[in-house]
């Protein structure tokens, strides 16, 4: 095997690709990862999960210092935001994380190839470096992990200055006066929250009649109420018909989705956050005959195999939950399959978190899904107002809801709105992974005073016997 010949070559160095590369190398496969961005970690580390959480953390502290600390007897006389300083924090977090992946590649002996990969034939990849130089890499197995990109709004040009995508929203030089967010999904609410905390007026325009349409209905309603209390405005059931930029401002024309009178909104910033679509440009899929579906996702079977032998795909580019941890699980499972093991992903137990405050975390089925599928279930709910730890933190908004099978008591879903919901959900994910009943969680001793006691109490409530409500 020559130096440019590998057991596995992964195209794309995001959470799917880089994790697959590390796991494949751990299992003794000669592995390379091709990434064109110039830094590893993909969307998630560079312009997604990590920078957005760095800004959410910074803006959370600012907001707490400006509004919330007085309730604890802490007097803060003058709080100022330095947007450049906040961006410096974000940039450092991103750079430390992406360099960390380079270190992990070295440690695990993964070859990192910087350039754009294109599949020229099964087992053959052409790499184009930034300076245009071309080289060829041979591989027994090729993995497509090229991720996703922002879904554009037809007729609207994103300039990343006034009309921005999530990438622009992570790098604004100053707080806008009025930011109109198109799309009341995860990105819209997280990044709307960042700039809202810093003083921007935030208006969310959502096509459907609810925000967070993939979440449990009760969660969506609660979050809309809590975010409205924080100052976010919502225009639901509303479609955008035009956005025109004039200098440093934009006019957004909207009308009711069901039809009706148009309205114009003026803003100095418009964030387009209506979803993401698979990215396969320049990969040469048509030349080698790799099938994609009508939305552009690479088609795979239960073992991540495309229709072309020796070519596999994982992560955002194959669809399903477009989440970093889902991509990572697929990366590990595929690497194990390629090494002759039995890699597997349990898609029933993939958590999803919205990092607003309070946070929103969910796993498994929503009440709406259970009803639509005709599954009989019991629901147990417990509010954070009745949790001692939440009260001591002054964080009493939200609840834990557990959905369990009416006949077997097996946990089918969990929906949490509340402080640290994103961490609390892990317990229920584990329970679901083990096929646990709500009674199993209800009978598990939880440390006091802990936010996790709300999860236990919600499970007790499934059987009608909560202790503290
Ligand atoms: P990507 O991370 O998109 O990586 C694909 C990589 O492939 C890219 O680096 C790209 O440059 C490279 N590439 C593409 N084509 C080629 C080619 N031909 N040659 C070489 N390289 C190529 N998910 C969460 O779970 N939690 C979060 O908190 C979260 N927050 C997010 C916030 C934002 C603002 C955004 C936009 C996304 C967020 N996501 C979050 C989603 C998450 O980023 C994605 O689900 C995840 O990055 C998908 O991983 P991936 O490896 O499939 O693809
Ligand atoms: P999304 O699918 O979460 O939300 C898009 C929203 O836009 C939906 O509510 C949809 O109804 C609405 N919409 C669609 N077309 C519209 C239109 N023309 N006008 C008005 N509203 C419209 O997508 P997103 O927020 O862009 O995020 C993209 C992906 O990134 C998601 O799949 C998400 O999983 C991932 N992500 C995850 C996290 C996290 O895990 N915390 C954070 C950010 C992004």
| In contact, 266 and 257? CB cutoff 8 Å | no
Same domain, 311 and 366: no
Question: Mind listing the pLDDT tens digit for each residue in 351-410?
Answer: 999 999 999 999 999 999 999 999 999 999 999 999 999 999 999 999 999 999 999 999
Catalytic residues: 448
316 marked among binding-site residues? yes
Whether 400 is covered by a domain: the verdict is yes
- CATH code of the domain containing 247: 3.50.50.60
Which residue has the least CA distance to atom 19 on ligand 2?
Answer: 207
> Quick one: 331 and 207 in the same domain?
no
Instruction: To the nearest 10°, report the CA torsion of 301, 305, 308, 310.
Output: -160
CATH number of domain containing 443? 3.30.390.30
> Is there a single domain that holds both residue 18 and residue 47?
yes
Does residue 264 share a domain with residue 220?
yes
* Alpha-carbon distances, residue 225 vs 185, 210, 370, 397 (angstroms): 15, 11, 24, 11
- Domain range spanning residue 110? 6-150+277-339
In the reported structure, the alpha carbon of residue 211 is separated from the centroid of ligand 2 by a whole-number distance in angstroms of 10
Among residues 220, 244, 274, the one where a domain terminates is 274
**Ligand 1 centroid – CA 74 distance (Å):** 40
| CA 332 vs CA 18, 108, 315, 325, 336: distances in Å | 10, 14, 11, 11, 6
CA 17, 23, 29 angle in degrees (round to 5)? 100
In the chain, the number of structural domains is 3
Pocket around ligand 1 at a 6 A CB cut-off = 11-17, 34-37, 42-44, 48-49, 52, 116-117, 145-148, 166, 187, 279, 282-283, 315-317, 322-325, 327
My answer on whether 270 and 289 are in the same domain is no
Q: Is ipTM beyond 0.95?
A: yes
What's the pLDDT at 3? 58
And the tokens for 65?
């210092």
Q: Verify that 128 and 55 share a domain, yes or no.
A: yes
Instruction: Give the residue from 227, 250, 274 where a domain finishes.
Output: 274
**Residue 91 and residue 261: Cα distance in Å, rounded?**
44
User: Nearest CA to 35 among 27, 26, 44, 305?
Assistant: 44
Of 308, 339, 370, the residue at which a domain comes to its end is 339
Q: Are residues 328 and 380 in the same domain?
A: no
Comparing C-alpha atoms, which of 186, 183, 225, 178 is closest to residue 206?
Answer: 183
Q: Is 356 found in the same domain as 283?
A: no
Q: Which ligand is the nearest neighbour of the Cα of 44?
A: 1
Residue 77: inside a domain, yes or no? yes
Answer whether 271 contacts ligand 2 (Cβ < 6 A): no
Whether residues 17 and 143 share a domain: the answer is yes
Statement to judge: residues 138 and 45 lie in one domain: yes
Examine the domain organization and report whether 368 and 260 are in the same domain: no
Is residue 375 domain-resident? yes
Contact 59, 86 (CB under 8 A): yes
Six token digits for residue 214? 């993939």
Let me know if residue 1 belongs to a domain.
no
Distance CA 317, CA 238 (A): 29
Q: Is 467 part of any domain?
A: no
Q: Are residues 172 and 126 in the same domain?
A: no
**Ligand number with the minimum distance to the CA of 297:** 1
Report CA-CA distances (Å) from 158 to 76, 166, 195, 315, 434. 40, 10, 19, 25, 45
Q: Is residue 469 part of a domain?
A: no
Q: Which residues of the chain carry a pLDDT beneath 70?
A: 1-3
For a pocket test of ligand 1, which of 146, 194, 354, 425 has the largest count of ligand atoms closer than 8 A to its C-beta? 146
Q: How many CA atoms lie within 13 A of 6 on its CB side?
A: 30
* Residue from 16, 101, 147, 360 whose mutation best tests the ligand 1 pocket (most atoms within 8 A of CB): 147
């Amino acid at each position: 095997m020559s130096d440019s010949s590998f057991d596995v070559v992964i195209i794309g160095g995001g959470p799917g690709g880089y994790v697959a590369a590390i796991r494949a190398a751990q299992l003794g496969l000669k592995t390379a990862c091709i990434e064109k961005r110039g830094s590893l970690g993909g969307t998630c580390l560079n312009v997604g999960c990590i920078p957005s959480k760095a800004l959410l953390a910074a803006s959370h502290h600012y907001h707490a210092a400006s509004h919330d600390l007085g309730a604890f007897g802490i007097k803060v006389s003058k709080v100022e935001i330095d947007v450049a300083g906040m961006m410096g924090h974000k940039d450092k977090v991103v750079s430390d994380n992406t360099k960390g992946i380079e270190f992990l590649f070295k440690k695990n002996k993964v070859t990192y190839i910087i350039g754009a990969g294109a599949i020229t034939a099964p087992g053959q990849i052409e790499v184009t470096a930034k300076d245009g130089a071309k080289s060829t890499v041979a591989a027994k197995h090729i993995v497509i992990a090229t991720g996703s990109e922002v879904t554009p709004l037809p007729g609207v040009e994103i300039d990343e200055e006034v009309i921005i995508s999530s990438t622009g929203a992570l790098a604004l030089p100053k707080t806008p006066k009025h930011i109109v967010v198109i799309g009341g999904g995860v990105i819209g609410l997280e990044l709307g929250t960042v700039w809202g905390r810093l003083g921007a007026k935030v208006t969310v325009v959502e096509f459907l009649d609810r925000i967070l349409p993939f979440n449990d209905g009760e969660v969506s309603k609660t979050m809309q109420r809590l975010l409205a209390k924080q100052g976010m405005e919502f225009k639901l059931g509303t479609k955008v018909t035009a956005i025109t930029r004039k200098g440093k401002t934009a006019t957004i024309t909207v009308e009711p989705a069901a039809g009706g009178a148009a309205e114009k909104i003026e803003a100095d910033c418009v964030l387009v956050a209506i979803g993401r679509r698979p990215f396969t440009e320049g990969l040469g899929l048509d030349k080698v005959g790799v099938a994609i579906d009508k939305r552009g996702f690479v088609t795979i079977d239960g073992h991540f195999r495309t229709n072309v032998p020796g070519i596999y795909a994982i992560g955002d580019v194959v669809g399903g939950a477009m989440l970093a941890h889902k991509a990572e699980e697929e990366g590990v499972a595929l690497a194990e399959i390629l090494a002759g093991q039995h890699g597997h992903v349990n898609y029933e137990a993939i958590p999803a978190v919205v990092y607003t405050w309070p946070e929103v975390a969910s796993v498994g089925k929503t009440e709406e899904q259970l009803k639509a599928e005709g599954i009989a279930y019991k629901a147990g709910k417990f509010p954070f107002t009745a949790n001692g730890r939440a009260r001591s933190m002054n964080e009493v908004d939200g609840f834990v809801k557990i959905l369990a099978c009416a006949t077997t008591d097996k946990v089918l879903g969990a929906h949490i709105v509340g402080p640290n919901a994103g961490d609390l959900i892990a317990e229920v994910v584990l329970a679901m992974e083990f096929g646990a009943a709500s009674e199993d969680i209800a009978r598990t001793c939880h440390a006091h005073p802990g936010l996790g006691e709300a999860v236990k109490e919600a499970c007790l409530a499934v059987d009608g016997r909560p202790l503290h409500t």
